[in-house]
Amino acid sequence: AQRVTQPEKLLSVFKGAPVELKCNYSYSGSPELFWYVQYSRQRLQLLLRHISRESIKGFTADLNKGETSFHLKKPFAQEEDSAMYYCALEGSGNTGKLIFGQGTTLQVKP
Amino acid sequence: DAGVTQSPTHLIKTRGQQVTLRCSPKSGHDTVSWYQQALGQGPQFIFQYYEEEERQRGNFPDRFSGHQFPNYSSELNVNALLLGDSALYLCASSPSTGGFYEQYFGPGTRLTVT
């Protein structure tokens, strides 16, 4: 079964501290993985996808197929990073059918 | 470009009734996907429309149906509403060229079933 698990509902850190938002997936095949973000009073939007290997707003995510993980990391959290973060998986075949995790709220305290 | 727009913003229906939600995609996008987001959960894929046909479907009953018009806008219909259908319904659009993965989401329609 295709599944995405985000074990933490809430992650609270102080400004300047490192951040790691965890994401584990279950999928037999080569998944495409993404992180979506929703800032307060804004729409859900794509943050990054694993295949592009980009760093967006200082965030990076590495796909670890052995551990079936795709954790989102940032070395120094900023207050403006406070948001809801969703990990999502797309099955093979360029379907556009996204399977989302339950989301993690990141709270960055001053 | 206003991006993806959805209407209405919210509505209240009674159990057993039928509801229609509407979505206009971002300019230049021809594919529309619908998601249901229950409180405290991530979005769940309902179905996707491309070229006026249902291209993909998630694990939702036939009470959930949709339509896509020639101008790429879309409707989500839910029949015989249940209390459990109360949720935020999100519409997302994407271009078929370059991959369907980058989906632009609308603000959602909040449906409450009483």
| Nearest chain B Cα distance for residue A55, angstroms | 16
Residue B2, pLDDT > 70, answer yes
For chain A, report the end-to-end CA distance as a whole number of angstroms: 41
Task: Please tell me the predicted confidence (pLDDT) of residue A62.
Answer: 86
Q: How far from A100 is each of A60, B59, B73, B79, B98, CA to CA, in Å?
A: 18, 14, 24, 25, 21
Rounded CA separation A44/B3 (Å): 12
Q: Per-residue pLDDT averaged across B101-109, rounded?
A: 90
Contact yes or no for B101 and A90 at CB 8 A: yes
Is residue A92 within 8 angstroms of chain B, CB to CB? no
Kindly report the average pLDDT of chain A as a whole number.
91
Contact yes or no for A97 and B94 at CB 8 A: no
Task: Please tell me the predicted confidence (pLDDT) of residue B100.
Answer: 65
- Residues B55-92: tens digit of each pLDDT: 889 999 999 999 999 999 999 999 999 999 999 999 99
Task: Please tell me the predicted confidence (pLDDT) of residue A93.
Answer: 65
Query: Interior CA angle at A86 toward B63 and A96, to 5°?
Result: 55
- Minimum mean pLDDT range among A8-12, A51-55, B23-27, B97-101: B97-101
Q: Per-residue pLDDT averaged across B23-36, rounded?
A: 95
Is residue A69 within 8 angstroms of chain B, CB to CB? no
Is residue B94 within 8 angstroms of chain A, CB to CB? yes
- Residues A11-61: tens digit of each pLDDT: 999 999 999 999 999 988 778 899 999 999 999 999 998 877 777 899 999
| Cβ neighbours of B68 in A, within 8 Å | none
- The pLDDT-based confidence of B99 (bands split at 50, 70, 90) is low
Task: Please tell me the predicted confidence (pLDDT) of residue A65.
Answer: 87
Q: Which of B101, B102, B105, B110 to mutate to test the interface with A (most CBs of A within 10 A)?
A: B101
Is residue B33 within 8 angstroms of chain A, CB to CB? yes
Take residue B59 and report the two structure tokens written for it.
């694990």
- Given a contact cutoff of 8 angstroms between Cβ atoms, the answer to whether B46 and B109 are in contact is no
Task: Please tell me the predicted confidence (pLDDT) of residue A2.
Answer: 87
| Cβ neighbours of B4 in A, within 8 Å | 43
- Minimum mean pLDDT range among A40-44, A68-72, A95-99: A95-99
Closest among A85, A70, A101 to A7, alpha carbons compared:
A101
Residue B33, pLDDT > 90, answer yes
Of B42, B90, B103, the CB nearest to A103: B42
Q: Per-residue pLDDT averaged across B21-38, rounded?
A: 96
Q: Per-residue pLDDT averaged across B40-63, rounded?
A: 94
| Cβ neighbours of B100 in A, within 8 Å | 94-96
- Provide the CB-side half-sphere exposure for A27 (13 A, CA): 26
Residue A2 or residue A9, greater confidence: A9
Task: Please tell me the predicted confidence (pLDDT) of residue B49.
Answer: 95
Phi, psi (rounded to 5 degrees) for A52: -80, -20
| Site of tokens 């029949």 | B79
Task: Please tell me the predicted confidence (pLDDT) of residue A96.
Answer: 79
| Cβ neighbours of A100 in B, within 8 Å | 35, 42-44
The residues pairing with A61 across neighbouring beta strands, listed in sequence order, are A72
Q: Per-residue pLDDT averaged across A73-86, rounded?
A: 97
